[in-house]
Structure 1
Amino acid sequence: MSSHDPIRQSKYLRQTLSQDKKPVGFFISAGCPLAVTMPTEKEWPLIPDVAGLTRYIKDEIDKEIPVVQGATRSLAGAYTQLIEEVVKTGKTNPNIEDILSFLRGMMQISRGAADIRGFSEAELDNLEKIVCQKIAEKLNVKLPDNKSPYHKLAKWVNNIDRDTPIEIFTTNYDLLLEEAFESLKVPYFDGFVGTRFPFFDLRAVEDNLIPNHWTRLWKIHGSINWYLKDNKDVYRSTSLEECDSYIIHPSHLKYDQSRKMPYLALIDRLNKFLRQNSAVLILSGYSFSDDHLNDTILNALRANPTAMVIALLFGDLTKTIQEKGDGEEELITKTTINYDKALELAENRSNLSIWTFDEAVIGGLRAKWKPTKSDYDSEENIGNAVRPIKDDDQKIVGYKFHLGDFAVLGDFLQELIGKEQFKIVQDGV
């Protein structure tokens, strides 16, 4: 039976991250804040996943009162109907990104219209404002200490000399990456320049006109500190003041020209990065639920066979559930796929790999993890990422590879700093 060696893949990843001339990027997505350990007196998670954020927004809006002059129903009533309209499109359990995308789609066709699906133009505008405001409030948090995986990523970036700059892409709206980089004084560029009202510099993004020692931080879906000024230009806030128009893009939906411009420029930046010779992009916390991002990644990989994407996914690829059968006590065991979209894409694209806890797809081949030797040591098992599974008799019955946990990835990067610096000293460089 085929298997993949996690120790070998650890060494491959270490070698890839150590090559200073190879284009290396990280893609940080929604699952990563869940890896931040919280103090016992504080609630976990620091930031909820998309499902948790969806519940939070609904609960918060249910507390609101009508704020639109002449409104005939509460904001909560309008939001409930909005969700019902999204369900009618085939989304059985819509999340906040589905809801906000649908809302903005209706806003595009509501200008000048008396009524769209029972919503007035003013009601739609107010719903979008309150949804984005509630998202910003929930995501405006700080890391609990300087030991988070975000800090470990920033430390790795800061301690490894490279000829080619690191590029970090994220779909998250929060400011956790910025906090970690700034606390460690790691220079980065996010597309904005200026002091009083930093503005988006399209030329600098498209032409990559930034010093090489600056990390690139590309927030593809916007940020809670991006907003529109009265002239409809996009600015980055320096104070997180309350704004009428937060730049939060849950999807590729073309909203208006000013909001669309940063999104399209940053999507193009992702495409250009993957089209570089031997580029490697490491995904963490991304579940492949965004079809437009998937298309961008897959099209670039098709056009550039030398590029590689490694998706580190949290948890197992498969899960086993038991359901009641026809008999009263009969139980039927079923196996389902946790990441069916990722599996489909990786099995048909040799330069897209997915690494879950229990299995991996590498070079299009799906197989369980299994080291080719049983006496590997801690020097090879970087960050304690490879963990044996033992039965009641302490016999090893399998292995799991935990790099899909952003916290373990942080430990992996932390260990690499010492190993690479030790290697430099050994080599006499």
Structure 2
Amino acid sequence: MSAEIKERVLQWLTGSDTCFLIGAGCSRCAGKPLIGELTEKVLANVDPKIKVEFDGLKGTGTRPPTIEDLINYLVRYQYILQTVQNTDKYTLQPSWINDSLEAIKEQIVNHIADAWTDSTVHARFLQRIASKWSKSARDIFTLNYDTLIEATLDKLRYQYVDGFRGSRLGWFDPTIFEEASTCAPNFRIHKLHGSINWLREDTGHVRRSVISSIDDIRETVVVYPSEQKYLQTQFGVYETLMSRFRARLRAPSVNNCLVILGYSFNDEHINEAIVDAINATGSNLTVIAFVGPDAKVAEQQSQLTNVESRCDNRFNAFVGNSFYVGNALDEVGAKSLLETELWKFENLVDYIAGAAA
């Protein structure tokens, strides 16, 4: 790879106007399961009838259904039952749905929760993208439930805000995102799909607490994406964070850049937010994505090519070591970048921070 190409890629990844969207692929190096693995683990430890319901679902686009689709399905079914007078004629009953959702959540906690564990790979990444000379915050939007980023920022003693005030039982207050910081570096963490340590009170309000095992679940329940989308919107958490994502992508900075890591483009809400931001009037957004290869490569290429075709030549994806879409680099440069396999988070960190000793 030429020095010119490497410098351009480093500018994408570390530029002061770059924000990040991080998916499950970035937690794999710390032993966290990908969504497919998590789905298998959960279904292996719940009522077999839940598995029967799951087997009747279909996924989105090219991907198979996941545990998130199952939660979506059950929550929607739950809503339907709340609108009818007599639920007896329905196959699934309210009490069974409630019990199933609780069982699913407990299993997710069991497979993701940890004792606030940091990651050395994430530490090197955060240190490299931190701006020690600017008090402006680095925005990270994550789709992951785990707390790897927060725990690692704590370990590094880097200031960050996540939308909550307080500590042991924090409360959501999005105004904290806009408060000026006196420290550098500092980060703004937006958990678009919820978090393992978010709890919902009986009032419906969301709290941030400490969840390290199933034993930590008492009267409150962990908040997951489906519940945010269909139950929590009225309390502002999900929609507020998504609104901040959309607004950040429309930032007027000349070199505005979104770098996407560990995300497979299987969430249409996220995809549409990206496409809309690129096409917004006055938008300067460029998107650079490093994407893991799917088993169905042709379908994946078709999907990403379709996204690129709607994005005014400002969407670029480098997929595995096999193909790319977009015009950010010429063919020679793009192929040389594919060879580095930056879709693997560890490789990307080595690329921007130097190989670990």
Considering fraction of residues, name the structure with more helix.
2
Superposition pairs of residues 301-320 of structure 1, within 5 angstroms: 301-303=278-280, 304-315=282-293, 319=297
Q: Which residue is equivalent to 1:42? A: none
* Distance change in 2, residues 1:146/1:58 (3 Å): closer
Which SS does the other structure have where 1:177 is aligned?
Answer: helix
Q: Which residue is equivalent to 2:43? A: 58
Q: Which residue is equivalent to 2:324? A: 360
Q: Read off the aligned partner of 2:158 and give its amino acid letter.
A: V
Q: Read off the aligned partner of 1:300 and give its amino acid letter.
A: A
The TM-score normalised by the length of structure 2 is 0.84
Residue 406 (structure 1) aligned with residue 342 (structure 2) = no
Q: Which residue is equivalent to 2:273? A: 296
Residue 95 (structure 1) aligned with residue 66 (structure 2) = yes
* Distance change in 2, residues 1:128/1:287 (3 Å): same
Q: Which residue is equivalent to 1:375? A: none
Superposition pairs of residues 260-271 of structure 1, within 5 angstroms: 261-271=236-246
Q: Which residue is equivalent to 2:25? A: 31
Q: Read off the aligned partner of 1:301 and give its amino acid letter.
A: I
* Distance change in 2, residues 1:112/1:121 (3 Å): farther
Which SS does the other structure have where 2:197 is aligned?
Answer: strand
Which SS does the other structure have where 1:31 is aligned?
Answer: helix
2:165 pairs, out of 193, 205, 212, with: 193
Q: CA deviation at 1:13?
A: 2.8
Q: Read off the aligned partner of 2:127 and give its amino acid letter.
A: K
Unpaired runs of at least 5, structure 1: 37-45, 62-74, 320-335, 372-385, 388-398, 417-429
Does the 8 A contact of 1:29 with 1:172 survive in 2?
yes
Which SS does the other structure have where 1:231 is aligned?
Answer: coil
Q: CA deviation at 1:409?
A: 1.3
Distance in 1, Cα, partners of 2:168 & 2:120: 32
Considering fraction of residues, name the structure with more strand.
1
Q: Which residue is equivalent to 1:217? A: 189
Q: Which residue is equivalent to 1:129? A: 102
CA deviation profile, 1:176-225 (whole Å, cap 9, x unmatched):
111211111111100000134210003334xx224274200000000010
Does the 8 A contact of 1:360 with 1:366 survive in 2?
no
Q: Which residue is equivalent to 1:340? A: 302
Q: CA deviation at 1:164?
A: 3.0
Which SS does the other structure have where 1:403 is aligned?
Answer: coil
Residue 15 (structure 1) aligned with residue 14 (structure 2) = no
Q: Which residue is equivalent to 2:111? A: 138
Q: Which residue is equivalent to 1:376? A: none
Distance in 2, Cα, partners of 1:343 & 1:354: 9
Q: CA deviation at 1:83?
A: 1.6
The CA RMSD over aligned residues, in Å, is 3.2
Aligned residues: 343
Q: CA deviation at 1:104?
A: 1.0
Q: Which residue is equivalent to 2:174? A: 202
Does the 8 A contact of 1:359 with 1:368 survive in 2?
no
* Distance change in 2, residues 1:316/1:173 (3 Å): closer
Q: CA deviation at 1:348?
A: 3.6
Q: Percent identity?
A: 22
CA deviation profile, 1:377-428 (whole Å, cap 9, x unmatched):
xxxxxxxxx58xxxxxxxxxxx713222111111123239xxxxxxxxxxxx
Distance in 2, Cα, partners of 1:279 & 1:351: 11
Distance in 2, Cα, partners of 1:270 & 1:297: 9
Superposition pairs of residues 315-334 of structure 1, within 5 angstroms: 315=293, 319=297
Superposition pairs of residues 227-246 of structure 1, within 5 angstroms: 227-238=199-210, 240=212, 241-243=216-218, 244-246=220-222
Distance in 1, Cα, partners of 2:295 & 2:45: 34
* Distance change in 2, residues 1:298/1:88 (3 Å): closer
Q: Highest Rg: 1 or 2?
A: 1
The TM-score normalised by the length of structure 1 is 0.71
